[in-house]
Amino acid sequence: MILQIDAGNTRIKWRVLNGSQVVLQGNQLTASVVDGEPLQLSGVAALKQAQLSTVAGDAVVTNLSQQLHDQFGIALHVAEVSAQVGSVSCGYSVPEKLGVDRWMAVLAVFQKTRQASVVVDVGSAVTVDLITGDGVHQGGYIVPGIRLLQESLWKGTSQVKVDQLADGNMLNPGTSTDQAVARGCVLMLVALIERLAKEHSACLVITGGDGLLLKAQIEAHAIYCADLVLDGLSVEGVRFSLGVHR
């Protein structure tokens, strides 16, 4: 049994694989693990290995390493970005500066599609990465996610105080301030993604917590993959280091 963990800024997702089959999965707030709470691995009796992709800081690595050492007697293997994995090359001049979650998603998408792709991860931030048909990562873009865009209006204005996502008609003009903010934020992201997909004539692959919400508004054909970062951990050749426990 292999435990795979994706620690994002807001939530931690995990799954247990038996071979290639997912047998257990769960999620919880990242802040809980940062604060020292254990990962809630209910139903997990034994593990052979554990793999982690994290953008959530050192406390997550330390706390999870300690839990896995104490509970299962195994080390935590922490994914790293490298210049090349198989036929996929990193587009950053300093690969270590690329977020490991983006790298895992790029690797997973290229393994699935073997074609030019635009990879969109819709979470607290929205990241967009471009891959050529021969596996060259061309870099990408990072913009605020839907909720961060809304929060920027809350903090920068005295009259706009909105706490909602858009409703079903997300691209129609808003007829209230709540709607205008929510729909405007979605429209900005849709316009960015559709332009890039069109310019690059590429396969569009979307993941992340708000990915389905955004996919429903995009006219271009898009594929939604819920667990791209976790899938990337399974790609042959990914570089890992060992997490250090207390």
Domains recognised in the chain with CATH numbers: 2-80 (3.30.420.40), 84-231 (3.30.420.40)
Per-residue pLDDT, averaged over 152-170, amounts to 60
For residue 21, the surrounding DSSP H or E stretch is strand 21-29
Name 240's Cβ contacts closer than 8 Å, sequence gap at least 6: 51, 77, 78, 79, 80
Per-residue pLDDT, averaged over 122-131, amounts to 94
Banded model confidence at residue 165, pLDDT cuts 50, 70, 90:
low
Checking phi first, is residue 201 left (phi over 0); if not, alpha (psi -120 to 50) or beta?
A: left
Residue in 60, 46, 49 with CA at minimum distance from that of residue 3: 49
Q: What pLDDT score does 236 carry?
A: 95
* pLDDT-above-90 percentage for the chain: 67
Q: What pLDDT score does 121 carry?
A: 95
Residue in 140, 144, 106, 139 with CA at minimum distance from that of residue 125: 144
- How many separate helices (H) and strands (E) can be counted in the chain? 7, 13
* Tokens standing for residue 246: 């207390």
Banded model confidence at residue 170, pLDDT cuts 50, 70, 90:
confident
Under a CB-based contact definition with an 8 Å cutoff, are residues 121 and 168 in contact?
A: no
Under a CB-based contact definition with an 8 Å cutoff, are residues 119 and 109 in contact?
A: yes
pTM here is 0.89
* Residue in this structure with the two tokens 């090349």, named with its chain if needed: 84
Over 80: is that where the pLDDT of 160 sits?
A: no
Checking phi first, is residue 152 left (phi over 0); if not, alpha (psi -120 to 50) or beta?
A: alpha
Over 60: is that where the pLDDT of 186 sits?
A: yes
Alpha helices, H only, the chain: 30-34, 58-72, 100-113, 146-156, 177-200, 211-215, 228-233
Residues labelled as active-site residues: 101
Q: What pLDDT score does 156 carry?
A: 54
Residue in 164, 162, 144 with CA at minimum distance from that of residue 153: 162
> Residues 6, 236, 94, 57: what is their CA dihedral angle, to the nearest 10 degrees?
20
Q: Report d(CA 221, CA 12) in Å as an integer.
A: 29
